[in-house]
């Protein structure tokens, strides 16, 4: 096991690239900027090690990371309707994005922050701890929030992200990681034929602006039923209005049935790679890179639609408007804790 670091000078910014390596030579690389995961190297069924996440070829492109490749997302992952919420009778207005709705913590969200890094070697894992303090009023949110995020790579090829945060005032917060996974290896294929199982019998209906309507729908009998396994290809020509609002893909919050089981299992038959996700979060936005075009230069290939699948485990900002959704409220001085693990295997 090892941890290496490399200076990355980008347009006047002095970043550090960290790489966690386990005993099987699986590795996870990330920047201290945004905690951005730039590469995850895992073996395929014949032992060939290849990258399984989307990342830019030129690190400078992360300065304008509108796709949020690999980034930590906060204070509130997802969309806040009309960029407005109320806490204890006080109304807050945070930076507006598309159609006046705030996305992923705003233009100065967690994906743009430089973290302090501490590295630790354990008996069967290597760990990097990322620290950042977001001042009261940052991006319009109340409370000074101290973040502590751990990236842990274990010798059983499980990569775990543990999140902790505490605020000096009542606030709203749900943080995630926005990596785009592609198990084909070095972006050889799209994710259209990845076989995906989700432990979710319900999902959240969206309007044309990708804002939750407040309705929670059953997946049964629809292209959103991944309970027995399904590929994203089924959405490409789907007439389901919910696939249509997501540009013939998925961009939806799935509500997990049981947070003790495997929340997500993704298999790529060609490479033999299997990714199993476990989380303590009540749900996850699955985004199938529906709005990716060919304009971005990634490490191994140009970007394209359906090139990666994001598994944004989190609570739901819809809870700021509607009852019955997993809350993003964080009381003053209460420690927010969340954990999601990604286990890579071959079959």
Candidate residues 19, 67, 182, 190; the one interacting with ligand G6D per rule CB under 6 A: 67
Sign of the Cα pseudo-torsion (101, 104, 109, 112, in order): negative
User: What's the Cα-to-Cα distance from 268 to each of 34, 44, 194, 343, rounded to whole Å?
Assistant: 29, 10, 5, 14
Question: Near ligand G6D by CB under 6 A, which window of 10-18, 114-122, 235-243, 283-291?
Answer: 283-291
Indicate whether 210 belongs to the interface with ligand G6D (CB under 6 A).
yes
Distance from the first to the final alpha carbon of the chain: 24
Q: Catalytic residue among 104, 178, 194, 252, which? A: 178
Least separation, in Å, of the C-beta of 83 and ligand G6D? 14
Beta bridge partners of 268: 273
Sign of the Cα pseudo-torsion (60, 66, 68, 73, in order): positive
List the alpha helices (DSSP H) in the chain: 233-236, 241-245
Half-sphere exposure of 265 (CA within 13 A, CB side): 14
Does the annotation mark 178 as catalytic? yes
| Neighbouring C-beta atoms of residue 37, cutoff 10 Å | 24
Does the annotation mark 322 as catalytic? no
- Could you say which residues in the range 168-187 bind ligand G6D, by CB under 6 A? none
Cα–Cα dist 229/239, whole Å: 20
**For 199, which DSSP code?**
-
Least separation, in Å, of the C-beta of 41 and ligand G6D? 23
Residue 308 and residue 121 in contact, taking contact as beta carbons nearer than 8 Å: no
Indicate whether 291 belongs to the interface with ligand G6D (CB under 6 A).
yes
Cα–Cα dist 198/183, whole Å: 17
Candidate residues 251, 253, 274, 288; the one interacting with ligand G6D per rule CB under 6 A: 251
Shorter beta-carbon distance to ligand G6D: residue 17 or 286: 286
Least separation, in Å, of the C-beta of 78 and ligand G6D? 7
Least separation, in Å, of the C-beta of 310 and ligand G6D? 6
Name the binding residues for beta-D-galactose. 178-180, 251
* Total of chain residues touching ligand G6D, rule CB under 6 A: 7
DSSP state letters, 130-159: EEEEEPTTGGG-SS-EEEEEEEEEETTSEE
Q: Catalytic residue among 312, 322, 334, 345, which? A: 312
Least separation, in Å, of the C-beta of 196 and ligand G6D? 17
Indicate whether 68 belongs to the interface with ligand G6D (CB under 6 A).
yes
Question: Near ligand G6D by CB under 6 A, which window of 111-119, 130-138, 150-158, 285-293?
Answer: 285-293
Active-site residue set:
178, 312
- What residue ranges bind ligand G6D (CB under 6 A)? 67-68, 210, 251, 285, 287, 291
């Amino acid at each position: 096991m090892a941890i290496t670091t490399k200076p990355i000078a980008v347009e006047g910014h002095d970043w550090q690239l960290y790489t966690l390596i386990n005993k099987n030579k699986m590795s996870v690389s990330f920047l201290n900027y945004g905690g951005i995961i730039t590469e995850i190297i895992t073996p395929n069924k014949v032992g060939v090690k290849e990258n399984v996440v989307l990342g830019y070829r030129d690190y400078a492109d992360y300065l304008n990371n509108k796709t949020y490749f690999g980034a930590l997302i906060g204070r509130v992952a997802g969309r806040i309707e009309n960029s407005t919420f109320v806490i204890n009778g006080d109304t807050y207005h945070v930076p507006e994005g598309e159609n006046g709705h705030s996305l992923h913590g705003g233009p100065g969200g967690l994906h743009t922050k430089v973290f302090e890094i501490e590295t630790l070697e354990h008996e069967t894992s290597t760990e990097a701890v990322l620290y950042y303090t977001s001042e009261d009023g940052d991006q319009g949110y109340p409370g000074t929030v101290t973040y502590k995020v751990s990236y842990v790579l274990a010798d059983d090829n499980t990569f775990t992200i543990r999140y902790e945060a505490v605020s000096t005032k009542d606030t709203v917060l749900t943080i995630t990681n926005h990596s785009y996974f592609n198990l084909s290896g070095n972006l050889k294929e799209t994710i259209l034929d990845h076989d995906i199982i989700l432990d979710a019998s319900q999902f959240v209906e969206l309007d044309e602006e990708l804002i939750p309507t407040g309705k929670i729908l059953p997946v049964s009998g629809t292209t959103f039923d991944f309970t027995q396994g399904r590929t994203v290809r089924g959405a490409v020509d789907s007439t389901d209005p919910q696939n249509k609002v997501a540009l013939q893909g998925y961009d939806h919050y799935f509500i997990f049935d049981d947070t003790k089981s495997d929340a997500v299992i993704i298999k790529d038959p060609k490479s033999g790679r299997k990714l199993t996700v476990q989380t303590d979060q009540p749900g996850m936005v699955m985004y199938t890179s529906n709005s990716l075009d060919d304009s971005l230069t990634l490490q191994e290939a140009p970007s394209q639609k359906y090139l990666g699948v994001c598994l944004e485990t989190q609570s739901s900002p819809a809870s700021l408007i509607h009852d019955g959704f997993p809350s993003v409220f964080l009381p003053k001085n209460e420690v927010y804790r969340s954990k999601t693990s990604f286990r890579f295997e071959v079959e």
